[in-house]
Amino acid sequence: MQPSNPLLQPWNTPYGLPPFDLIRTEHYAPALEVAMAEQVDEVEVIATSALPPTFANTIDAFDRCGASLSRVYSVFGNLTSNLTNEALQAVELEYSPKLAVHSQKFYLDSRLFARVDAVYNARHNSGLDEVQIRLVERLHLDFVLSGAKLDATKKARLAELVEQLSQKCTTFGQYVLADEDQTIIVFDSQADLAGLPTELIEAAAQCAKDHGHEGRWALTTSRSFVEPFLTRSSRRDLRKKVYDQFSARGEMHPERDTKPLIAQILKLRTEMAHIHGHQSFSDYALVSRMAKNPANVADLLGQVWPAALKRSREEQQLLLSVAKADGLTALEAWDWRYYAEKVRLRDYQLDDGEIKPYFTLDNMLQAMFYAAGRLYQVSFQEVTGTAPLYHPDARLFEMRRADGSLQGIFISDNYSRTGKHSGAWMSNYREQSEGVLPIVSNNNNFTQGKPGEPVLLSFDDVETLFHEFGHALHSLLSEVKYEGLSGTNVLQDFVELPSQLNEHWALAPEVLAKFAKHVDTGASIPPALVEKVRKARTFNMGWETVQYLGPALLDMALHSLGDANGFDAALFEREESQRLGVPSEIGLRHRLPHFQHLFTGEGYAAGYYVYMWAEVLEADVFSAFEEKGDLFDPVLSARLKLTLLSIGNSVDPAQAFRNFRGRDPQISALLKQRGLA
């Protein structure tokens, strides 16, 4: 151990949190080296054991090894997403490939796999329980998909591919982040602010001040800035300017154009699939998902895409009828949000400016805690002054069971800032296992206004808050013996079920009555306004669905290519969008040059469809509460926790769904939920 390196010392901190106040960038590289070496030694003991392979000395031992590396990387990985800088990015660029190769070599170790394979072959007659068998089967599949059965030549090439992919995916993420952090759109006059709500103007003034443009107004290309601007700005020329900058992330500057990286990543992934005996990367990636194969994904998306296009064409005509009053004869992508807001205001009398005063961030945090408490018999209490965190924006909460015992630690980090990746996500600092409590964080990118003033959320923001908290609950509620099966370590097309499901409780009448209070008057949100929100939920859903499904279909087409030689990302995006019929006035929520889901790692590659797959599941789950007529029905919520949220991956997800619903999922609830039935 290095006594001066806090990452390698015991963390004598409250809850075993990382000692954020002591950790410096220069600590990461030596800590990662020491922790990797420790894991090599631990695996060597397993692989060279003279004892016959058993679940305990092979599977369980492998599941538990690498604890030091997990601890160090949890801090490193989280801070490269939340609070990065040039020095930390340099470490990330150097060590991401090293870490990928480090992990891969264990799965390619023939001695270790022989032991895993022996336990796998004897799993049904060696006295193992169902959870242990599940862990054996999942671990064995991980080894196979990582190349354990390949010959030595293919193993060597696969290790090279993994290293190269890690380096290129890390570079992709850094390029996009640089475009987001360094692209500042400055406005010089009050006329540039026409149509914008007060809170956005104040946030833009603060943004300008933060970036050295005191006395003016500015936006970054963060979605939390761009979408409100496109929705409210009456300056069509500036809407186009902002939209173009937002759309161009990842290709703004030749020196960090991501399109060549995309071609390289796709070529490497396709070669990886071929080495494993699959025609395309999508064939390879879906082996370990609920969908199983690209045909099943195509079947699901194909049922929704035509209905979404049809609805979007109807919406387009409706919006154009309003836009004609401004002299427009056709809509462009930078017009849709603006005129949709006008129609929403006209037809539903629903204005974001009327809604947002009822949704302060602090109240909505309490709302999501309350809903979770009612559903799952837990409570949340903020803890201040006892443990330094990595940034003043981060807040710490205890989650306790009904009997008062501590079940997990939750970190809430809600504001956008330089050095923080865009979007919203959940992550772990420590995963749950027997005797180990989870430490979970939610990371959002809401826009702060003036210091000390309440942050007001749109209802979309509220749903994002509840969505990410659904992921957090999935980890916090986990009650699984083995870390490899706990929390969100589930199949990729199941992982979004808890998050999307949790969004529904943002509109629960009881939750709104208690927490949707006007920021100035304290009055509860009027029932009539809530009803407007409900009625408007399926408004513009054709656009919403096309915006999501377009990238999902693009992802599957991209990763279904059997030959990636000579791939041209710009040409492919253009031609595939035309083939699919993506309306130009809607466009893609994620264009390939900044599609971080696909190109910053392998998790969502050939997997962006998972949100729709999981929505089929969650819509069907939520319909059980609707049928019951009680969103907090104690029997249903207890069954939900028992069968879906606390089990991690210890039960096959298809069977887990049947255990809750009593049958297989049906798509009808999703189509109804989106207003596409």
Active-site residue set = 468
The alpha-helical segments, DSSP class H, found in 122-222 are: 130-145, 152-182, 198-210
Q: What sign for the dihedral angle of Cα 333, 336, 338, 339? A: positive
Residues in the chain, overall count: 677
Mention every residue, 6+ apart, whose C-beta is less than 8 A from residue 614: 493, 494, 495, 496, 497, 499, 500
How would you classify the pairing of strands 425-430 and 439-446? Answer: antiparallel
56 burial (CB, 10 Å; 0-12 / 13-18 / 19+) is: exposed
263 close to 568: Cβ distance less than 8 angstroms: yes
Q: 3-state DSSP call for residue 445? A: strand
359 close to 533: Cβ distance less than 8 angstroms: no
416 close to 445: Cβ distance less than 8 angstroms: yes
Tokens 């082996």 found at = 287
Q: 3-state DSSP call for residue 398? A: strand
Three-state secondary structure readout of 614-643: HHHHHHHHHHHHHHHCCCCCHHHHHHHHHH
Starting at the edge strand found earlier in the chain, the sheet holding 378-383 runs: 378-383, 395-401, 406-415, 439-446, 425-430
Name residue 409's beta-bridge partners.
398, 439
Per-residue CA distances from 479 to 56, 482, 559 (Å): 20, 9, 35
Residue of 344, 315, 302 whose CA lies nearest to 537: 344
- Rounded to the nearest angstrom, the gap between the alpha carbon of residue 21 and the centroid of all alpha carbons in its chain is 27
Per-residue CA distances from 357 to 108, 158, 458, 515, 516 (Å): 56, 54, 9, 12, 9
d(CA 264, CA 258): 10
178 close to 185: Cβ distance less than 8 angstroms: no
On the CB side of 534, how many CA atoms lie within 13 Å of its CA? 12
The pair of structure tokens assigned to 418 is 């330089």
Residue of 197, 186, 184, 208 whose CA lies nearest to 232: 197
User: No. of H helices and E strands in the chain?
Assistant: 27, 7
How would you classify the pairing of strands 217-219 and 378-383? Answer: unpaired
Q: What is the DSSP string of 469-492?
A: HHHHHHHHT---SSGGGSTT-S-T
d(CA 398, CA 405): 10
CA triple 152-156-158, angle to 5 deg: 115
